[in-house]
Structure 1
């Protein structure tokens, strides 16, 4: 994966037992298990560990790749040999020699736990298989064109040039595939359920076109080249269940009657026509595999719900301090199946504090009250007079439909304005639309000098920052000026 600093978004994964069942359902992996069992108690192989000629047709029939009777197609035997090779690579079968000098294969120690569905064994074997296929896909893509090499060079120089060319092509293919898988991983993490499928052209564009730019004519050609390069590699990974993949329709790039081959993006395409350019979807197994590779490469690749395993204080602190987190998902995981009143009390207690993350914790605490629903009302009423929480919980209770909630006093109201605004500024720099709404709703009441004169005196660690933000964002120049003056006074006071 790319060495640049990357924030990997958290993903949701099924339980390991479910992932293991999905792995066993992958045909090529299942074939390897079946052939390993077929090797018991032992099976003759050639000196390279491959099935002998006489066993290749029976192996194909065993796997259901050929009819029980009649001639076995060569393609079926080749597929059976590939599955046998995978079984050997995974040590599902072990190779040895008898006392008579015969080469034989016997089932390996991992076969039985894998057949029984032990999640750890199955996933470890599947991940090893996925790594093998990933390497083979890159190798296949990096085979140089026939006749490559520097013309006129000596034989030794030709060999050296050819080797250098293969290594360079392999590195480029590996980098391209890694980048594509990482983009797919991120895209899937943010996708709504059911919308995880990505057109291959979109994936290629994400790899080629700089963010925020429209693809130029030259970039359209680059996108097509990337699609053609990824197509066979993604097809190979689909065999191990990392992807669901619809390959490019080969007719799209055929040149007929002197016409140029198709180029992605030259004209709008309907859904069916777009699908002919390839569709790819990362499976849960694929997410699992890529996450393991990211972890091996030293990346922080969290799972949704990781932060929800502790108490409320750990939850809010983790959400505030983690850059790659989906706050609502963590809050949802934490509040699920908890008793509303007890959970709300714990959250509100954890939300207190005048440290740098205090405003954000309080905003998250109120968001969690929304997830707990009306059942959290008793806990919210208990802190209505709390100087830090009172303003926020009163607003929440009113939004819930309560009609007996007293209006906060002036000091609490002003402090809550600052705290609410500060939370938005801390939340990844703030949502521009929401900040604009907060600015528009400021209760200045026609007396900006008087209102800002009160606000800059509010004893809150973010008072000056909030006033400066209002000064930058407020569309009324006179109000913006008063906010900047108040910010200066707040800075001087502090």
Structure 2
């Protein structure tokens, strides 16, 4: 798929969009840390973060067997399978591989497109021929020649496994079919009507102007313009599909419905701007351009689509801009639906993800990181920019034996590398998901110098009353470690960090407190103290923190 060039829509300061809402905010419009927790942001400069923020968010997909069943239920795909079976053992075709005249009406009846009795309607025959063409393109039907020179069609080798429901075969065939329809949807057989009319008018009024050098030159120019129009349409469709894909990141597959006007606005309106009269016109143009292409993709089950109501079109001027004009009252739900509604199906998510992967995008699935052991899980979450940590942790802990899972998480949390504080924070989050059954494993690490402080706090939060207080050194180390994890998790967000800093257990004698803290042997001691010194609102506390940070740097 082509890289997105859409305008950035306005984004909230924090948090993810509501799963059930449809609006102008999509996952790609949020800051990296707002979406995923900035686990991979540590150490990146602004340019790196800009690149990381356009990564495709993870999505949930049904099992491949379920997707295959959905593919077989798509009418056009099902027609292709039926026609392929109908050719067995062989069926005569013409020299182009098309059905002969006598077989065309029976094919339409076979597919249920025409009544059993009487003449088959022309549109039913056309639909059957389209399904035949698709079956041939997918090699579900193979064309050959007999020894007598007759042209015949026979079932292809993929038909039987597809009929049996082999998920890999079905999905590969469906994806090929979706790709064919995607290409056909943007084919420009001629110049747009308006451009063709302008061209004719220019030629009619070009009295005395030089004639083209030759008809070949004229045709070449026309073909170039057609190809340019086709490329623009393909790019627009790719952008629209990727935006639709992104809206599914925080919703169950196939549940997010987007008004076509909203989709067009996301492609047109620059960040932070209200749509002007001119932009409303551009939005309408994009809607009109997308309408037939989305309708074509709906035929293969890529999406569910309610097209623009034809009655909205004025024969001379075309459709009014969405909303009628700047300052107009917003449309109610039913009136807005007349301008088009689009919803990406789970099959569509699957197909677009495959196209993104083919083009080199990182397009993960929720739960992909949860397939290995705890060490792989925690490392993967820390290193991946486009990951939903809580989702991955929840998938991992589900169906695992609680005590064994807790022990594995705690063991994977140890270390003094750059990501170690985040691993420990993620482990605490996962232990919270396991709950009380993890208690025996947590009690086993009460005296661990890296895990003991957090383990004691976890047990107290659980309601335990027999937990001994940590030694002073362990308590101070845990303060640095916990704040370091938050420092990395927030990506350096000053507002969030000030809230965390306000909770630091600074006593009435900050010089004494920071005098102890800078001596803590932790890789992030100086970083934490510098953050406190920069952001603490109490000038005395901030000054002592900066002095302590300097000592910690000198010590290291």
User: Shorter chain as normaliser: what TM range?
Assistant: over 0.9
Partner of 2:373: 311
The CA distance in 1 between the partners of 2:257 and 2:148, in whole Å, is 55
SS in 1 for 2:152: strand
Partner of 2:234: 174
SS in 1 for 2:505: coil
* Per-residue deviation, 1:22: 0.9
If the length of structure 1 is used for normalisation, what is the TM-score? 0.93
* Per-residue deviation, 1:260: 7.3
Worse-matched range after superposition: 98-107 or 382-391? 98-107
Describe the superposition over 1:263-305 as per-residue Cα deviations: whole angstroms up to 9, x where unpaired: 3584422222222222222111111111111121122222222
Partner of 2:491: 429
* Correspondence list, 1:343-492, <5 A: 343-427=405-489, 429=491, 434-492=496-554
Partner of 1:81: 129
Alpha carbons 1:253, 1:262 under 8 Å: kept: no
**Distance verdict in 2 for CA 1:141–1:338, change over 3 Å:** farther
**Distance verdict in 2 for CA 1:186–1:16, change over 3 Å:** same
The CA distance in 2 between the partners of 1:407 and 1:141, in whole Å, is 78
Alpha carbons 1:142, 1:170 under 8 Å: kept: no
Identify which of 70, 83, 108 aligns with 1:35.
83
Partner of 1:233: 293
Find out whether 1:201 has 2:249 as its counterpart.
no
Unmatched tracts of structure 2, length 5 or more:
5-50, 204-210
Partner of 2:321: 262
Higher relative contact order structure (alpha carbons within 8 Å, sequence separation ≥ 6): 2
**Distance verdict in 2 for CA 1:69–1:432, change over 3 Å:** farther
Alpha carbons 2:113, 2:124 under 8 Å: kept: yes
Alpha carbons 2:254, 2:346 under 8 Å: kept: no
The CA distance in 2 between the partners of 1:210 and 1:433, in whole Å, is 27
Describe the superposition over 1:13-47 as per-residue Cα deviations: whole angstroms up to 9, x where unpaired: 22221111111010000000011111122222222
The CA distance in 2 between the partners of 1:311 and 1:47, in whole Å, is 59
Find out whether 1:72 has 2:132 as its counterpart.
no
* Correspondence list, 1:273-292, <5 A: 273-292=335-354
The CA distance in 2 between the partners of 1:193 and 1:185, in whole Å, is 10
**Distance verdict in 2 for CA 1:410–1:205, change over 3 Å:** farther
* Per-residue deviation, 1:449: 2.6
SS in 1 for 2:248: helix
Find out whether 1:55 has 2:115 as its counterpart.
no
SS in 2 for 1:139: coil
Alpha carbons 2:253, 2:345 under 8 Å: kept: no
Find out whether 1:159 has 2:219 as its counterpart.
yes
Alpha carbons 1:141, 1:173 under 8 Å: kept: no
Alpha carbons 1:335, 1:372 under 8 Å: kept: yes
Alpha carbons 2:453, 2:478 under 8 Å: kept: yes
Alpha carbons 2:309, 2:340 under 8 Å: kept: yes
The CA distance in 1 between the partners of 2:515 and 2:331, in whole Å, is 59
Alpha carbons 2:397, 2:430 under 8 Å: kept: yes
**Distance verdict in 2 for CA 1:184–1:194, change over 3 Å:** closer
The CA distance in 2 between the partners of 1:284 and 1:134, in whole Å, is 17
Alpha carbons 2:186, 2:293 under 8 Å: kept: yes
The CA distance in 2 between the partners of 1:15 and 1:296, in whole Å, is 20
* Per-residue deviation, 1:432: 6.0
* Per-residue deviation, 1:404: 2.1
**Distance verdict in 2 for CA 1:40–1:428, change over 3 Å:** farther
**Distance verdict in 2 for CA 1:440–1:142, change over 3 Å:** farther
Alpha carbons 1:384, 1:391 under 8 Å: kept: yes
Alpha carbons 2:61, 2:253 under 8 Å: kept: no
If the length of structure 2 is used for normalisation, what is the TM-score? 0.83
The CA distance in 2 between the partners of 1:241 and 1:327, in whole Å, is 31
* Per-residue deviation, 1:484: 2.7
SS in 1 for 2:261: helix
SS in 1 for 2:491: coil
* Per-residue deviation, 1:430: 5.3
Partner of 1:247: 307
The total of aligned residue pairs comes to: 493
Unmatched tracts of structure 1, length 5 or more:
none
Alpha carbons 2:283, 2:321 under 8 Å: kept: no
The CA distance in 1 between the partners of 2:273 and 2:552, in whole Å, is 41
The CA distance in 2 between the partners of 1:212 and 1:301, in whole Å, is 27
Partner of 1:103: 151
Describe the superposition over 1:235-269 as per-residue Cα deviations: whole angstroms up to 9, x where unpaired: 1111111111112222234368x897233584422
Worse-matched range after superposition: 274-283 or 326-335? 274-283
**Distance verdict in 2 for CA 1:130–1:273, change over 3 Å:** same
* Per-residue deviation, 1:141: 8.3
Find out whether 1:90 has 2:138 as its counterpart.
yes
